[in-house]
Chain A
Amino acid sequence: NAGVTQTPKFQVLKTGQSMTLQCAQDMNHNSMYWYRQDPGMGLRLIYYSASEGTTDKGEVPNGYNVSRLNKREFSLRLESAAPSQTSVYFCASSTSSGGTYNEQFFGPGTRLTVL
């Protein structure tokens, strides 16, 4: 099993460009998450999907959109990139649904630089 995979691993964008970060998991998990990690700030939740067909905003959703394409895939889109979106982006998944606990498993991350 590959676990959680993310593409691309690195990306450089110019201000105003758009891009989509892809995430897929093969663990049959119900819930998926997108985080950003900035130096000294820990992890901040951007969006999550508790189950296929649902998405909800997290702590820092502005400037992002998501799509839960199916149970396996959860993508994050930056419509018009800004330098403040320079960060490392992590996708995670968990079995959490209907009372099970929420141990999350992380992908390798995407390092995004916006010039």
Chain B
Amino acid sequence: ELKVEQNPLFLSMQEGKNYTIYCNYSTTSDRLYWYRQDPGKSLESLFVLLSNGAVKQEGRLMASLDTKARLSTLHITAAVHDLSATYFCAVEGTGNYQLIWGAGTKLIIKP
């Protein structure tokens, strides 16, 4: 059974600092997705990672995928308040149409 673990589940940090959110999963997959959710809002797709070694960057966020380690990271560089949100990773199982979701990381960035 595919399981997805994110850590930390909660992160409070200062503006200008760097930090990394980790997403571990339990079985083979080479497709991983990162989403952002603002409070009371829907989920927005951030990154689609489709192969080992994939790296995507958008502004201060960079996501990478290591399928051999079954690990994806979401790195935040020089955090700003606008990045405060909950971030989810989701892993695609093989042979079906489902995504298995992590519990989410609530990120609070203080001025």
Contact = CB atoms under 8 A, between A and B. Distances in A.
Contact of A42 (B31, B48, B104): B104
A34 interface: no
Interface in A43-75: 43-45, 48, 50, 58
A31 B97 CA distance: 8
A105 B48 CA distance: 12
Contacts of B102: 42
A27 to B, nearest CB: 13
A43 B42 contact: no
Contacts of A40: 103
Interface string A71-112: 000000000000000000010101011000111111111000
Given A42-B88, A101-B92, A103-B33, A48 B97 contact: yes
Nearest to A92: B43
A: contact size bracket: 20 to 34
Contacts, number: 51
B: contact size bracket: 10 to 19
Contacts of A96: 97
B10 to A, nearest CB: 10
Nearest to B43: A106
B104 to A, nearest CB: 5
Contact of A107 (B42, B90, B103, B104): B42
A19 to B, nearest CB: 20
Of all A-B residue pairs in the complex, the 3 with the closest CB atoms, nearest first, are A42-B103, A43-B101, A106-B43
Interface of A: 31, 40-45, 48, 50, 58, 90, 92, 94, 96-97, 101-109
16 contacts: A31-B97, A42-B102, A43-B43, A44-B101, A45-B99, A90-B43, A94-B97, A101-B50, A102-B33, A102-B97, A102-B99, A103-B33, A103-B48, A104-B90, A104-B99, A106-B43
Interface of B: 31, 33, 41-45, 48, 50, 88, 90, 92, 97-99, 101-104
